[in-house]
A = this chain, B = another copy of it.
């Protein structure tokens, strides 16, 4: 399973759709200006999402994209596997050129790991992600209202994910 900004673009775009699921179709133009990425690149991503049956597009004025299913029925894994190629040709594709047991061991270990990550991402749906975030933001808003400054919260929200400090090593 590959995990890059490409899948991230797709997930954030799908969240945009999920939020407006029962109000209006969202145009790629909207998403492009929201996220400041190119319209044509979004089109490429949505071509994949459409082929995977995750979104439906309607043309013409007032048109745009909607989720093909309810947000709860779409997992993050669905989205990410939809947009990346994933042909995954490995050197050790058959038994024949696998000369020692050790190599097979590490292959299998990685396969297990990869499966775990997939399962993790497959157990989170767009719907759950929104609910989770909504309650978190509500809590923060309530806290901010009772105190004085709004900026401390805003600062938290704008910064992007950095790899946190390791639990084991402290580096």
A residues with CB within 8 A of B: 1-4, 8, 11-12, 15-16, 19, 34-36, 52-53, 69, 73-78, 81, 86, 88, 90-95, 98, 100, 102-125, 129-130, 132-133, 137, 154-164, 166-169, 171
Interface of A is mostly: helix
- Please tell me if the beta carbons of B160 and A107 are within 8 angstroms of each other in the complex: yes
Task: For the complex, give the distance between the alpha carbons of A92 and B112 in Å.
Answer: 35
B120 A167 Cβ-Cβ under 8 A: no
Count identical subunits in the complex.
2
Question: Which residues on B sit within 8 Å (CB–CB) of A109?
Answer: 12, 15, 129-130, 133
B-side contacts of A36, CB under 8 Å? 91
How far is B106's CA from A35's CA once the two chains are assembled, in angstroms? 9
Q: Which of A78, A112, A113 has the most CB of B within 10 A?
A: A113
Give Cα A25 to B157, complex, Å: 46
Complex Cα spacing A131 to B95, Å? 24
Assess whether B111 is in contact with A163, with CB atoms less than 8 Å apart: no
Cβ of A158 and Cβ of B2 under 8 Å apart?
Answer: no
Among B15, B16, B107, contact of A158 (Cβ-Cβ < 8 Å): B107
**Known interface pairs A95-B158, A160-B90, A162-B88; A133-B108 also in contact (CB < 8 Å):** yes
CB distance from A168 to the nearest CB of B (A): 5
CB-based contact B163/A81 at 8 Å: yes
| Nearest B residue to A137, CB-CB | B105
Q: Which residue of B lies closest to A33 (CB)?
A: B99
Given contacts A19-B102, A118-B163, contact A107 B157 (CB under 8 A): yes
